[in-house]
Amino acid sequence: MTEINSVTTLTREGDVAVITLNSPPVNALSANVRDGLYEGFKAAGASDAKAIVLICEGRTFIAGADITEFGAPGKPSASLFDVQTMMENSPVPVVAAIHGTALGGGLEVALCAHYRVAVPSARLGLPEVALGLLPGAGGTQRLPRVVGVETALEMMTSGRHVPAPEAAKLGLVDELAPEGQLKEAAIAFANKCVAENKPLVKISENNTKLEAAKGKPEIFAEFRKKNARKFRGFDAPEANIKCIEAAVNSNSFEEGLAEERRLFGGLMSGSQSAAQRYYFFAERQAAKIPDVPDDTPVREIKKVGVLGAGTMGGGISMNFANVGIPVTIVEVQQEALDRGMKVIRGNYERSRGAKPEETEARMSRLTGTLDFNALADCDLIIEAVFERMDIKKDVFARLDKVAKPGAILASNTSYLNVDEIASATSRPQDVIGLHFFSPANVMKLLEVIRGEKTAKDVIATSMKLAKKIGKIAVLAGVCPGFIGNRMLSQRQREAQKLVLEGAMPWDVDRVLYDFGFPMGPFAMSDLAGLDIGWVKENSKGETIRDVLCEMDRRGQKTGAGYYDYDENRTAKPSPVTEKIINDFIVKSGRNPRKISDEEILERCVFPMINEGVKILEEGKAIRSSDIDVVWVNGYGWPVYRGGPMFYGDLIGGPQKVLAKMKEFQGAMGDDFKPSALLEKLAADGKKFGDLKG
């Protein structure tokens, strides 16, 4: 065995030279790995080997470029382009042996091998789009030459990790190897190449699949049109598409490559990719809790109980049924239970690609009952009953009597004090908040609320379980509304105020939609129903919402709310709402004024950032980036703007936000009072990103 460098070895198996990479955790293409590859291929090429296999140790094949190197000053090292050129021009066959994931630059390396062998569990893809980028190592030019233009468009703009069996059908993988026998299979394949004198396939030289798309610009036009909504606001999908267009229309591979390089550079230096790369690490960071190390023991969760089969209880239950964990759902009313179970079944049946047997298997894991004692054998019980402290405390006092020792008792409360809820039990160490977002079977975010007495293993179990059910968990401390809803209250307040000062609901919504949110607060209210929490008997026409509800304009479901809706539920600004608002303004003795889009945005967003700083000041979030993870996953903050805290830094940092808050405070009062920590950050010239809770 020859040690090429600290991450690369070269061995010999008969006629085949085997280059092995071992650079944990994911064999990313760091300077060291590129050097190892370059020197490894050079040494193998200089030997008398008749073929070369490239394989990786650890959990995966090369998972891409090393994202930590982006934007950092480069170390002198071999370029990826040099490595790829050497591989493609190798006079003996090169076979890439793939397990785990071959992603981004990893797949781009594999595409420079003459052949690819993979185990069925492997996945291949070009996920750069998720980092606000495009494959910048020839992937945009090679992929369409292998899989065709349409498939390349889909793969590159979705970033999907394609399972190896599908990749084999697409021609991306030449042979599937038995699981656990990748090395042997790849060596056998390499020997076969030699024995059968198989051609040294250079993907860059085969234009057949591109020819099929030549002179058909409609392929691209239709693709853009079909995905316009999905791509809205993002720069990277369009740049990826343009690269494939270049592959089709260029006179040579090199010309296409030059266009790829140009567009890659543009994305890499832009703020969107900076935000999306930041977000990649933010999401992984959120799982790390300083005083709850990764090796904290966890409690085994084999059975879950859910209290309440309403909007949240049903969705929460589905998450566990989906991963094979049985759930007991307890209700107080048979009718509510039946309705809840029916909604769950409907959700399963409507879900894309649902197979009837799969629906039945999942439904069979759900047991509905009115018997509270049925929760006795559950390892985790999640309460999702009405949002009232007296009811929650009553439920937890009863749970204390019924639940087995060591069971985790969780509340899905949106705003209430988890410590107070825990005080209703004799075991506050077992009590935690698990705040799911609606629809709970779809939304990725889970706020995990740590009570004053919550045990560390309860936190560790909750964080791990979140990952198991496909959620992104963020730890928050006890405070009204936790991280997300606490900040949302700031935005909601300003949205309402803006409307009483002269902006129309559709003005506010448009500004936030254009910023990148899926919808503005008023469209959102119409969707959710204006009458949530509205009580007819108590309604005295004191707010715009009261008046709208009294007129039976309760949102989309009644065909009107803030907006008017046609039969396709398309929203139109409503003259009725406009008149109601104008009457309110006159009644309150104000003069409506023209409010700029800039003011709408700053009034909605800056108080949120200020509140985020307060949350950190009070230690209710661990780090600034956790707040961004909450907003991207729970509230539709556009990931290409990183999250509110990242955005604050992007547009000028604490000094800019402070100056604006002070200006607003002077004009409009203490809703804009800057937090002490914001003042300090600005004075110290620090960034929001520096903040830890």
The interface partner of residue 385, options being ligand NAI, ligand 3HC, none and the CB cut-off 5 to 8 Å by kind, is ligand NAI
Query: Quick one: tokens of 101?
Result: 């994931």
Grouping H, G, I as helix, E, B as strand and the rest as coil, residue 35 is: helix
Closest CB to ligand NAI among 240 and 414?
414
How far apart (Å, rounded) are the C-alpha atoms in residues 486 and 415?
8
Catalytic-role residue among 13, 57, 88, 128: 128
Full DSSP string of 112-163 = TSSEEEE-TT-EEE-GGGGGT---TTTHHHHHHHHH-HHHHHHHHHH---EE
> Is residue 599 involved in binding ligand 3HC (CB under 6 A)?
no
Q: Which is nearer to ligand NAI, 148 or 310 (CB)?
A: 310
Q: Which of 79, 333, 364, 596 binds ligand NAI (CB under 6 A)?
A: 333
Q: Is residue 256 a contact point for ligand 3HC (CB under 6 A)?
A: no
Closest to ligand 3HC by CB, 313 or 642: 642
257-316: contacts with ligand 3HC (CB under 6 A): 281, 284
Decide which of ligand 3HC, ligand NAI, none touches 438; Cβ closer than 5 to 8 Å per partner kind: ligand NAI
Which ranges constitute the DSSP H helices of 159-270?
A: 164-170, 182-195, 208-211, 217-226, 228-231, 236-249, 253-268
In whole angstroms, how large is the CA radius of gyration of the chain? Answer: 28
CB of residue 564 vs ligand NAI: minimum separation in angstroms? 25
Q: Which of helix, strand or coil describes residue 693?
A: coil
Asked if 376 contacts 403 with a C-beta cutoff of 8 angstroms, the reply is: yes
H/E run at residue 33: helix 31-46
**307: contact with ligand NAI by CB under 6 A:** yes
Please confirm, yes or no, whether 383 is among the known catalytic residues.
Answer: no
> Sheet harboring 51-56: ordered strands across?
2-5, 8-13, 16-21, 51-56, 94-98, 115-118, 175-176
Interacting residue with ligand 3HC among 36, 132, 135, 555 (CB under 6 A): 135
Report the C-alpha gap between 435 and 487 in whole angstroms.
Answer: 15
Question: Which does residue 312 bind out of ligand 3HC, ligand NAI, none, counting CB within 5 to 8 angstroms by kind?
Answer: ligand NAI
Q: Does 136 bind ligand 3HC (CB under 6 A)?
A: yes
Is 373 near ligand NAI (CB under 6 A)?
no
Q: Quick one: 23 or 411, whose CB is closer to ligand NAI?
A: 411
Check residue 477 for interaction with ligand 3HC (CB under 6 A). Answer: no
Which has the closest alpha carbon to 635: 465, 444, 351?
444
Q: Is 31 in the site for ligand 3HC (CB under 6 A)?
A: no
Alpha helices in 269-388 (DSSP H): 271-285, 311-322, 334-350, 356-364
Identify whether 128 is a catalytic site residue. yes
Q: Which does 441 bind (CB under 5 to 8 A by kind): ligand NAI, ligand 3HC, none?
A: none
Q: Is 395 helix (H, G, I), strand (E, B) or coil?
A: helix
Q: Is the separation of the CB atoms in 523 and 509 below 8 Å?
A: yes
Total interface residues for ligand NAI by CB under 6 A: 24
Give the shortest CB-627-to-ligand NAI separation in angstroms.
18
Residue 131 within binding range of ligand 3HC, rule CB under 6 A: yes
List interacting residues with ligand 3HC (CB under 6 A).
Answer: 25-26, 28, 60, 63-68, 101, 103-105, 108, 127-128, 131, 133, 135-137, 139, 281, 284
Catalytic annotation, residues: 108, 128
